[in-house]
Amino acid sequence: MSAQIIDGKALAAATKAEAAAEAAALKAKGIEPCLAVILVGENPASQVYVRGKVKDCGECGIKSLELRMPETTTQEELLAKIAELAADKTVNGILVQLPLPKQIDERAVIDAIPPEKDVDGFSPVNVGRMQTGQPCFLPCTPAGCIRMIESTGTKIDGKNAVVIGRSNIVGKPAALLLLAKNATVTVCHSHTANLKEICANADILVAAVGRAGFVTGDMVKPGAVVIDVGINRGADGKLHGDVNFEEASAVAGYITPVPGGVGPMTRAMLITTLYRMSGSPAVTGENPYSDVPAGSYYEKAVIWAMQKGVANGMGGGKFEPDTRVTRQQAVTMLYRYAVKIAGI
């Protein structure tokens, strides 16, 4: 294996630490961020996802409301609940866990969530604003993918990026975000001809297909950054990505594992979006992609500093959210480290 692993857990931990510090700063100003999660029915996977989101909120000091509705819930009942939460000033973000029972029209539900509380970034207004480069809330999985690519130090600008999959929640927005970062983007899907050749030319390859081991070693350009979004439960009961990890990691420069890659990062990005919704100063910036920090050394420096115990996040006056680490901050971290190890 030659590829370096992009550690989704470490990046997610740094992202959540940032969110926790932001949430604490908001609380000090009397604002308590709150996420409302609606789960309709008994889908076991959905129950796990919702539990994970509620747990993440708790770990970051963010309030969450878990609202369970029965499998037999009608569309009118669900829309009424959303309207209630939309009008509730103490609720900042609303998330309806998908999929929904078949009597409910998913699109109508997504449309009913006000864009300013649309923590998933699926509403038509947020999608449209993302497409036109205006301030918006980004969907968590693709925003997390961008963060992971940038964490490697790879400049997206000018690169050939290939996204396999064109779903509204992953493939299409991932392609748009890569385009916004000036990549030359190709979107592949189930009707694409010469898929292998196209993928083998990608400097950045994002796989969001939903088929275990779909991307084989011969589809990976040597040195490429490979982001595996897929989560597929195998016959062995384990989770498998869309990428054949063993083959691809022998060729790629960087690769995300499954589990421990895009999954944790997606969850962390949800919390980031929530604090931005809750009125954090980081929200007010005009850069629509402000939750995708530009410099990988920034991520790396902060992760390193947190692991060494010489910094505890990007808030609390130590770091500005969503800006690069300044020379002064870097020197301060080094000094603290030196004090810690050498006692100077």
Site for ligand NAD in 263-322 (CB under 6 A): 263, 266
- Region binding ligand NAD by CB under 6 A among candidate stretches 18-26, 88-96, 184-192, 272-280: 184-192
Coil, strand or helix at 316: coil
- Region binding ligand NAD by CB under 6 A among candidate stretches 36-44, 57-65, 79-87, 185-193: 185-193
Q: Should residue 171 be labelled a site residue for ligand NAD when binding is judged by CB under 6 A?
A: yes
Binding mask 244-263 for ligand NAD (x = CB under 6 A): ------------------xx
Q: Should residue 43 be labelled a site residue for ligand NAD when binding is judged by CB under 6 A?
A: no
Contact 77, 105 (CB under 8 A): no
The token duo for 40 is 């309709």
DSSP structure string for 235-274: TTSSEE-SB-HHHHHTT-SEE--SSSSHHHHHHHHHHHHH
Q: Should residue 110 be labelled a site residue for ligand NAD when binding is judged by CB under 6 A?
A: no
Tell the smallest beta-carbon distance from residue 191 to ligand NAD (Å): 7
**Residue 215: half-sphere exposure toward Cβ, Cα within 13 Å:** 39
Catalytic positions, please?
53, 97, 120
The token duo for 52 is 């994970």
Q: Of the two residues 130 and 301, which places its CB atom closer to ligand NAD in the complex? A: 130
- Region binding ligand NAD by CB under 6 A among candidate stretches 88-96, 164-172, 177-185, 215-223: 164-172
Taking CB under 6 A as the criterion, the residue among 27, 63, 166, 324 binding ligand NAD is 166
Element (H, E) at 2: none
Closest by alpha carbon to 41, among 11, 73, 13?
73
- Residue holding tokens 């890569």? 178
Alpha-carbon span 58 to 61, nearest angstrom: 5
Q: Should residue 9 be labelled a site residue for ligand NAD when binding is judged by CB under 6 A?
A: no
> Which residues contact ligand NAD (rule: CB under 6 A)?
141, 164-167, 169-171, 188-190, 192, 195, 208-210, 229-232, 262-263, 266
